[in-house]
Amino acid sequence: MKANIQKKQEHHNNLALLQLIIESILDKKGNRVVTLDLTNLEDAMADYFVICEGNSPPQIRAIADNIAHKVKKQLGELPLNLEGMNNLEWVLIDYFSIVVHVFHKEKRGFYQLEELWGDAAIVTEYFPDGTQSTF
């Protein structure tokens, strides 16, 4: 019973973090925002991937900074790891259960994470105008 309650709380916390990350990306006009649900994959290192892209290094920095700032301010969480802020082609923000990938648009096409994790369910794609498509 106690484990079940804890699992529900973790799921609720993940969804709150996931929503805040997506809002933070859209605040800075991130493009092609996709959420991958990895919970049913045995070899996954996280529950969710959030993948998005920016058009320029300053926009990529703004997206990554906004995510880290809002998550710390509203949820009190710091990322376990933050990589790629020097070259701003692929920034990875690791919140353990949710890993955010902020790509420069050319690098996203090169690495094709959505296809690499093709067994994952694409939960939602978010568009800059705030609309979304659920799969």
Judged by DSSP in three states, 33 sits in strand
Q: Which of 20, 34, 28 is nearest to 132 (CA)?
A: 34
| Per-residue pLDDT band at 4 (split at 50, 70, 90) | very low
Amino acid 5: pLDDT: 47
Measured CA angle at 97 (ends 96, 102), to 5 deg: 75
Structural domain for 63, as ranges: 2-134
The pTM (predicted TM-score) of the whole model is 0.85
The total number of structural domains that make up the chain: 1
CATH number at residue 31: 3.30.460.10
Q: Is the pLDDT of residue 132 over 80?
A: no
DSSP string, 92-135: EEE-SSEEEEEEEHHHHHHH-HHHHTTTSEEEEEE-TTS-EEE-
Mean pLDDT over each residue of the chain, to the nearest integer: 86
Q: Is the pLDDT of residue 9 over 60?
A: no
